Structure 1
Amino acid sequence: MLDFINYPVSAILWFWHEVFGFVLDPASGYAWALSVVFLVFTLRALLFKPFVHQVRSMKKMQEFAPQVRALQEKYGHDKQQLAQEMQKLQQEQGFNPISGCLPMLVQVPVFFGLFHVLNGFRPGAPSNFVFGPEDVASFVSADLFGAKLSNTISQAPEVLATFGTDRPSMLVVGVPLMVAAAIATHFTSRHSVQRQTPEAAANPQTEIMNRMVLWVFPMFAIIGGPFLPLAILLYWLANNFWTLGQQRIVYSRIDREEAVAAAAVVDGSTVTASTAEPAASAASTAESTEAAAPAAIEAKPAAAESDESATQDATEAPSPARPAADADQPGDASGVFDDRSRDSRPGESR
């Protein structure tokens, strides 16, 4: 049923075993353990972009959680209307809760695919998906400090003996792996919870979910660890270490992007304010000029009239008196000597 997952998973595991088998002994447990670890790294690297999208979607969901609660309170009695309003909000804000869960949903079939592949390594098995009989025998004989990668702690002693191991050897390797996987799961979940907004963290449902991911999910590694092959515990541990490092990288990048965006908004506001001040000053100057123009126009005729009055007064003013010598000479009433007047007087000889 899951062959479309099992074959690609087994092919990636085969590739890394060929790589590490070239450097180490192909039948050694270290070569197979590193192959499982790098199988995890390969799968998670392929899911890096969906993981980034998941983080962004979850962040948007937390930012718009108050609006979602408002819609739930308003349309809680009408499920169909609530679904329509929620879909409208998601389209407007550009986030989709289903797409945010995509990386997690993809990892589930991968996990089961790896589980089927590891369970296929059995003594005497002719093949296991892409692995031939030699590869199957190599994996079955591989061990870490006496513990077989394909076995579980809970298996019966006779089954463990068939694979060439025993329960104490499985406990020595399996218990530290279970504890380390639980601790890694806890810190990975804690780092994710710390990124929640205060509004989202204050939600009662979110508080319950946070407690589960912080304490219940890590306990799965302790409770279910004895029933899982050691290779699956390696997968679990490597997956959580990758997730923790990936979260730090992605969250740091998102924080830098938000800081740059916030700085751009502040700079834009500053530039707008500095541009608006000269514009306001120019507008104020223009208004003052427009207000002063009518007064200047009214004052100009008054000044012109004043100048005309002064000119007229200067024209009508009497001329200064002439010297006495000029006054003694006969002439017209203005005191100016006129030869024609003298010549024209009767009785005077020339």
Structure 2
Amino acid sequence: MLNFIYYPVSFILWCWHKVFGFVLGDDNAIAWILAIMFLTFTVRGIMFKPFVNQVRSMKKMQEFAPELKRVQKKYANDKQRQAAEMQKLQKEHGVNPLGSCLPMVLQIPVFIGLNWVLRSFTNKPLDQKTENYFFDHAGVESYVNAKLFGVNIGDAIHHASVLGGTGGGWNWNVAPVAVPLMILASVLTHLTARHSAARQAATATEAQPQAALMQKLTMYIFPLGVLVFGAFFPIGLLVYWLSNNGWTLMQQRLVYTRIDKEEAAKKAEAKEKRDALAPKPGAKPKPGAKPVQPKNETKTESTDEENESSANGQQSNGKRSPKAGSPHRFAQQGQRPQGSGGQRKKSAQGGKNSGQKGSGQKRR
């Protein structure tokens, strides 16, 4: 039923076994382990671009996480409207919340296919097994005879029938080889998840409940699952899990470093553009260029200029400017000193008496 998965996985494994079997020998367990590891690297190399897209999607989610949080607060009582607004915001930013799960989802068929192919080598007696997908009888015999520290790489601590095994109880002789691989695979799974979670801002995980849930699963549940259920995995499948997480950790470091350099280059380029447009210290303004002034200062200066121009205009026309405080806009005169007023009064009276005297003399 799943031959469309089994045949490609078997073909890639067959190709790499031919390469390393030519150098180390077909029955060598190291050749089979290297073939399984490079099968993993081949699949992960094919999925490199989706992984980069996943990292960029996570970066975008961090950028607009505050907006998502505002939407959640705004429509806290209307979950339907909240979901619609969040989907709209994600569409505007070009972010797919399921994009971060895509590389992991793509690895599930490979895991299932490799598990089935490895178990198919030994699910029947060797004299009844003529082929295993791309492997012929000689290939099956080579796999069965390959031993690592006296343990066949197709053996498991327990061949659970649920996972495709043939049953048969516990094989504790496999534990000295399987348990160290289980522990190492569990630790690498946790380190990979922790390294990925360290890149995500707290606001992004709060705004995206799916991302927060997936983060907890990958950091704690998956490593624990490898440690517990690894007892039911063949040695070859544990090698796949170990090499897969080792590749992921290395790939994360390389991709994150590259993206950080790209962002630093963009920031430096934007700063250079701002510095190029800004005037240099001590540089004179260009002819005709108007200095940029704040609105309040410009308004105040223009008012002062209008007052000065009006005052100059009135002085040039020979008119006195009205003094402030006069409601009729007449010039207010100051109080005259009493001494001068008394002199003027006396002079006025003296003039009157002199005039009267003069007129009386004429009549005579």
TM-score (normalised: structure 2): 0.70
CA distance in 2, matches of 1:84, 1:155: 47
Per-residue Cα deviation, 1:240-272 (whole angstroms, up to 9, x for no partner): 000000000000000001101111122222222
Per-residue Cα deviation, 1:86-113 (whole angstroms, up to 9, x for no partner): 3321222121122332211111111111
CA distance in 1, matches of 2:268, 2:54: 25
User: 2:62 aligns to what?
Assistant: 62
Note the C-alpha offset of 1:78. 4.3
Note the C-alpha offset of 1:129. 1.2
Whether contact under 8 Å (1:37, 1:235) holds in the other structure is yes
Whether contact under 8 Å (1:63, 1:197) holds in the other structure is no
Whether contact under 8 Å (1:37, 1:234) holds in the other structure is yes
Note the C-alpha offset of 1:84. 3.4
Per-residue Cα deviation, 1:285-330 (whole angstroms, up to 9, x for no partner): 9xxxxx9xxx9xx9xxx9xxxxxxxxxxxxxxxxxxxxxxxxxxxx
User: 1:110 aligns to what?
Assistant: 110
Letter in 2 for 1:187: L
Q: Specify whether residues 146 and 57 from structure 1 end up closer, same or farther in structure 2 by C-alpha distance, changes over 3 A only.
A: same
CA distance in 2, matches of 1:219, 1:112: 19
Asked if 1:172 is matched to 2:179, the reply is: no
Q: Specify whether residues 210 and 86 from structure 1 end up closer, same or farther in structure 2 by C-alpha distance, changes over 3 A only.
A: closer
User: 2:263 aligns to what?
Assistant: 258
Give secondary structure in 2 for the equivalent of 1:282: coil
Letter in 1 for 2:9: V
Note the C-alpha offset of 1:85. 2.3
Note the C-alpha offset of 1:30. 0.8
Whether contact under 8 Å (1:152, 1:230) holds in the other structure is yes
CA distance in 1, matches of 2:89, 2:205: 21
Structure index of larger Rg: 1
The one of 264, 273, 278 aligned to 1:268: 273
CA distance in 2, matches of 1:147, 1:118: 15
Whether contact under 8 Å (2:188, 2:242) holds in the other structure is yes
CA distance in 1, matches of 2:287, 2:216: 57
The one of 123, 132, 157 aligned to 1:128: 132
Per-residue Cα deviation, 1:48-68 (whole angstroms, up to 9, x for no partner): 001000111122123222222
The one of 187, 194, 217 aligned to 1:190: 194
Letter in 1 for 2:53: H
Q: Which moved more, 1:77-86 or 1:65-74?
A: 77-86
Letter in 2 for 1:97: P
Q: Specify whether residues 107 and 280 from structure 1 end up closer, same or farther in structure 2 by C-alpha distance, changes over 3 A only.
A: farther
The one of 158, 164, 187 aligned to 1:154: 158
User: 2:289 aligns to what?
Assistant: 282
User: 1:10 aligns to what?
Assistant: 10
Letter in 2 for 1:17: H
User: 1:19 aligns to what?
Assistant: 19
Note the C-alpha offset of 1:76. 4.5
Instruction: Give structure 2 stretches of 5+ with no counterpart.
Output: 161-165, 293-304, 317-364
CA distance in 1, matches of 2:188, 2:286: 59
Between the two proteins, the alignment pairs up a number of residues equal to 282
CA distance in 1, matches of 2:272, 2:201: 26
Note the C-alpha offset of 1:274. 2.3
Letter in 2 for 1:93: H
Give secondary structure in 2 for the equivalent of 1:57: helix
Give secondary structure in 1 for the equivalent of 2:285: helix
Whether contact under 8 Å (2:69, 2:207) holds in the other structure is no
User: 2:351 aligns to what?
Assistant: none
Whether contact under 8 Å (1:145, 1:169) holds in the other structure is no
User: 1:159 aligns to what?
Assistant: none
Whether contact under 8 Å (1:146, 1:169) holds in the other structure is no
User: 2:248 aligns to what?
Assistant: 243
User: 2:144 aligns to what?
Assistant: 140
Whether contact under 8 Å (2:156, 2:234) holds in the other structure is yes
Q: Which moved more, 1:189-198 or 1:22-31?
A: 189-198
User: 1:316 aligns to what?
Assistant: none
Q: Specify whether residues 143 and 273 from structure 1 end up closer, same or farther in structure 2 by C-alpha distance, changes over 3 A only.
A: same
Note the C-alpha offset of 1:171. 1.2
User: 1:309 aligns to what?
Assistant: none
CA distance in 1, matches of 2:216, 2:93: 29
TM-score (normalised: structure 1): 0.73
Identity within the alignment, %: 48
User: Greater helix share, 1 or 2?
Assistant: 1
Matches within 5 A, 1:180-329: 180-200=184-204, 210-274=215-279, 278=285, 282-284=289-291
Give secondary structure in 2 for the equivalent of 1:114: helix
CA distance in 2, matches of 1:284, 1:222: 70
Q: Specify whether residues 228 and 282 from structure 1 end up closer, same or farther in structure 2 by C-alpha distance, changes over 3 A only.
A: same
Give secondary structure in 1 for the equivalent of 2:290: helix
Instruction: Give structure 1 stretches of 5+ with no counterpart.
Output: 157-161, 286-290, 303-350
